[in-house]
Amino acid sequence: MRQKTYRAACTAGRALVDAPVIVRMRGISKAFGGVPALKDVELTLRSGEIHALLGENGAGKSTLLKILRGVVVPDAGTIEMEDRAGVSMIFQETSLIPTLSAAQNIFLTREPCGRFGLIDDRASIAEARSLMTAFGLHIDPATQTSKLSAGQLQLVEIVKAISQHSRVLVLDEPTSALAAGEVEHLFALLRRLKAEGTAIVYVSHRMDEIVRIADRASILRDGRLIITSPIGDLTLEQIIEHVIGRESGLPDAPPRHEAQGPPVLELRAVSGARRIRNVDLVVNLGEVVGVAGLLGSGRSALARLLFGMEPLDSGEVLLNGRPVHIANPRDAIAAGMALVPEDRLRHGLIAIHSVADNLWLPLLDRFSCCGWISLPRARRMAEDQVARMRIKTESIDAPVHSLSGGNQQKVALARWLATDPSLLILDEPTAGIDIGSKREIVAQVRSFARKGKAVLLISSELPELLAASDRIVVMANGRIAASVSPQDSSERQLQISIQNANAYAHN
């Protein structure tokens, strides 16, 4: 199946050679504070192509796209663009205003007006509905966006771009929060836009998606263009090697770990107000237990319940053999738990604060005396964590939002590892980050568990679960539906287990 996909992509990529060029970037260079971000980079976008832009976090992808959008001015190079080519960018975190309707967001600052200059919401809704119908989307444009799913929000963002008659559409990690069905809707819409001549730049760390959807790929590493090629001319192994500069991926599944200690976490018939139903689970000392399942299966709801963010309806939670009542995150931290949440920027970090501030925030009591913080001690701890986690930053005083996604995630993980918890709960710890960073985080997780701790690893990325976990449980409809051995399973077998569990749970 994979070979057929590669051959089809190869044919499509070569067929685009004669398509009109919409954008041509030549010799693009940019430095920040004397540190080169881009060095003599070229990028050509053709009408009716989906062009993958690949590279590790910090490789220069964001800088190149900001230059394309006109947000950043290059130090050198030229950009040639078709006269009517507008550029729309859709970022990983949507820019929609949750209190406005889908139609109001689509036409924000461009609202249709009536006779007396007043905004005509009915006209906005009618025009938005016409656009959605034309692309086969079933979203009520009058719906408030706060009530839409992650996949629907992405589709509304794309309709907003379409309404601006953009010939170039840039998508940054568009599927990081989407369920499988929502991904298919997105891909169908992108293929429609491609057929109408739109040039699409697709940024993703999910290589299976790149192979399925892209015609060509350009790979950046350390600010330089490594290769531009039809996607069908590259194997998955070659793509990974070009991205990280070495033959590497995630490590193999850990060897079977029999010498585990006593239970750290025990759940006995636990049910929650939202989705969790009669869950029994044990995580032992020295063990990484992976949690798999489709979006909406209850994986994140389980993490929130354990950390006191959602109420426990019934059942019993034990930590280190003792029953605990966790009413809020403060109770969870005091009991020896730590949670790295799914949305690192909204719930895991304070983006406008420095790397140092974020690292020592959970440890203020350790560095405080009589209400005063010992800054030298706190800064030493921050510098040690930056070195240990190999966080790429200009300094520990740089704001977190200035870091790449992978390095932001390392900060989110480092701040809780520094608290030395008994139980570490990780919810999608590698979403939207590059292969090299994923490998480092998987290694950190395995090392942490082997030092006499316990880890509950929630992830939709199956290679990550297989690489990090000693045991994997599959959730469906709020329940644990199956248990899988990583040593005896492939990615395909785990995917089948998830699909079977989901089908069984909803029958």
What digits encode the pLDDT tens for the residues 138-168? 899 999 999 987 778 888 988 888 888 889 9
Kindly tell me the sign of the dihedral angle through the C-alpha atoms of 260, 412, 434, 472: positive
CA atoms within 13 A of residue 109's CA, in its CB half-sphere = 4
Beta-carbon count within 10 A of 234 CB: 24
Question: How many Å separate Cα 126 from the centre of its chain?
Answer: 33
Max intra-chain CA distance, the chain: 77
Q: Which residue has the higher pLDDT, 57 or 207?
A: 207
DSSP state of 354: B
Q: Stretch 329-339: mean pLDDT, rounded? A: 92
Tokens of 75: 């130090």
The Cα–Cα gap between 436 and 240 comes to 9
3 state DSSP class of 443: helix
Cβ(49)–Cβ(199) under 8 Å?
A: yes
For the whole prediction, is pTM greater than 0.75? Answer: no
The Cα–Cα gap between 293 and 314 comes to 23
pLDDT of residue 6 exceeding 50, the answer is no
Question: How many Å separate Cα 498 from the centre of its chain?
Answer: 20
**pLDDT grade, residue 52 (50/70/90)?**
very high
Q: Beta strands 87-90 and 35-46: pairing type?
A: unpaired
130: Cβ–Cβ under 8 A, 6 or more apart, which residues? none
CA atoms within 13 A of residue 447's CA, in its CB half-sphere = 11
Cβ(187)–Cβ(214) under 8 Å?
A: no
Burial of 83 (0-12, 13-18, 19+ CB in 10 A): exposed
Q: Specify the residue for token string 């950390």.
A: 307
Q: Which residue has the higher pLDDT, 68 or 149?
A: 68
Consecutive H or E run containing 280: strand 279-284
DSSP state of 233: G
Q: If you count DSSP H runs as helices and E runs as strands, how many of each does the chain have, helices first? A: 16, 21
3 state DSSP class of 307: coil
pLDDT of residue 97 exceeding 80, the answer is yes
Q: Beta strands 454-458 and 288-292: pairing type?
A: parallel
Spell out the domains of the chain, with CATH numbers in brackets: 2-244 (3.40.50.300), 262-336+424-507 (3.40.50.300)
pLDDT of residue 385: 85
Tokens of 202: 């697709």
Question: Cα-flanking dihedrals φ and ψ of residue 402, to 5°?
Answer: -85, -10
pLDDT of residue 11 exceeding 60, the answer is no
The Cα–Cα gap between 176 and 151 comes to 10
**pLDDT grade, residue 503 (50/70/90)?**
confident
Q: Beta strands 21-32 and 76-81: pairing type?
A: antiparallel
What digits encode the pLDDT tens for the residues 231-251? 999 988 788 788 877 554 666
Tokens of 450: 């082997």
Question: How many Å separate Cα 421 from the centre of its chain?
Answer: 25
Which residues is 372 bridged to in the sheet?
Answer: 369
pLDDT of residue 8: 45
| Ranges 13-17, 134-138, 148-152, 483-487: which has the least confidence | 13-17
